[in-house]
């Protein structure tokens, strides 16, 4: 088994644990590269189908290419797609910096979805190498009644045993991609032929490395216009993947505050 095989096998194992132990369960589909890989892995785990709903918590501010992609592949992949709306930015914590405040809408939209569908498990495509606070996550991460992440009191997790405590109002975030690196995601996309929004590829010397809301996400300088070129670029780069995500950089702790409150 090569490294990608190992990552795939581990993610399949995690998805099968989640499907067995957490009901009702749903997967978040942000339409980005990581969540496409995640849908693909679910199809690997469950012999070509996704046996739980796939949710898109829609801020209404994604790129038009992303909406087109969503509608096309929801059909092609035979997904049970649930759409969730987000409250207006005026309802969000005014003490957050502007981009983080805008991103907080997604947290509120997600919380509403979780309550509406009484979800016990929510599968999300975050990775440890993306960002410092995500590095501290568990594969099965319990969220309290207000969806808060209690960083200082995380359960032990070892030997592929995942705690599944259940109390009224809490749910578990499941992170099947936690061990993947950005370059692993791209190599797997290349190996498997997983479709992507073409915003990830260079046009006029710029491409998106990470996709979020169109007003708070910016492209990076790049001439990589094919999968092979993107992989080659990543082998040498030393800038961070989320450099183009405004909310990460507004203040030292903005992203952490978002995550503690339930952001992905």
Contacts to other proteins by CB under 8 A:
1-3, 5-10, 12-13, 16-17, 19-20, 40, 43-49, 51, 128-129, 132-133, 135-136, 138, 151-152, 154-161, 163-167, 181, 183, 187, 192, 235, 238-240, 252-253, 256
Residue number with CB closer to other proteins (65 or 256): 256
Residue number with CB closer to other proteins (17 or 58): 17
Least Cβ distance, residue 28 to other proteins (angstroms): 21
135: left (phi over 0), alpha (psi -120 to 50) or beta: alpha
Dump the DSSP string for 7-65.
HHHHHHHHHHHHHHH-SSEEEE--SSHHHHHHHHHHHHHTTT---S-EEEEE-S-S-HH
Least Cβ distance, residue 196 to other proteins (angstroms): 16
Least Cβ distance, residue 133 to other proteins (angstroms): 6
Residue number with CB closer to other proteins (60 or 155): 155
Q: Looking up tokens 């003490």, which residue turns up?
A: 95
Tokens of 18: 């989640």
Apex 161 CA angle, 157 and 164, nearest 5: 85
Q: What are phi and psi of 150, to 5 degrees?
A: -95, 85
Least Cβ distance, residue 161 to other proteins (angstroms): 4
Residue number with CB closer to other proteins (90 or 167): 167
Residue number with CB closer to other proteins (60 or 132): 132
Terminal C-alpha separation, the chain: 31
Least Cβ distance, residue 195 to other proteins (angstroms): 13
């Amino acid at each position: 088994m090569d490294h990608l095989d190992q990552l795939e096998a581990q993610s399949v194992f995690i998805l099968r644990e989640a499907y067995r132990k957490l009901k009702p369960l749903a997967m978040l589909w942000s339409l980005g590269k990581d969540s496409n890989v995640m849908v693909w892995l679910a199809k690997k785990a469950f012999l070509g189908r996704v046996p739980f709903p796939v949710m898109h918590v829609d801020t209404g501010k994604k790129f038009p290419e992303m909406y087109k992609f969503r509608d096309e592949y929801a059909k092609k992949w035979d997904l049970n797609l649930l759409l969730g709306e987000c409250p207006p930015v005026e309802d969000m914590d005014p003490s957050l910096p502007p981009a983080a405040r805008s991103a907080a809408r997604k947290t509120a939209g997600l919380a509403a979805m979780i309550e509406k569908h009484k979800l016990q498990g929510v599968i999300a495509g975050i990775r440890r190498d993306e960002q410092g606070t995500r590095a501290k996550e568990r594969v099965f991460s319990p969220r309290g009644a207000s969806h808060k992440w209690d960083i200082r009191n995380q359960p032990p997790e070892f030997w592929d045993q995942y705690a599944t405590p259940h109390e009224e109002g809490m749910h578990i975030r499941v992170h099947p991609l936690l061990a993947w690196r950005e370059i692993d995601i791209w190599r797997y996309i290349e190996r498997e032929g997983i479709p992507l929004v073409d915003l990830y590829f260079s046009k006029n010397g710029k491409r998106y490395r990470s996709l979020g809301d169109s007003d708070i996400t910016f492209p990076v300088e790049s001439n990589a216009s094919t999968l092979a070129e993107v992989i080659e670029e990543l082998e040498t780069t030393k800038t961070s993947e989320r450099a183009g995500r405004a909310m990460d950089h507004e203040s030292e702790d903005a992203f952490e505050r978002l995550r503690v409150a339930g952001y992905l």
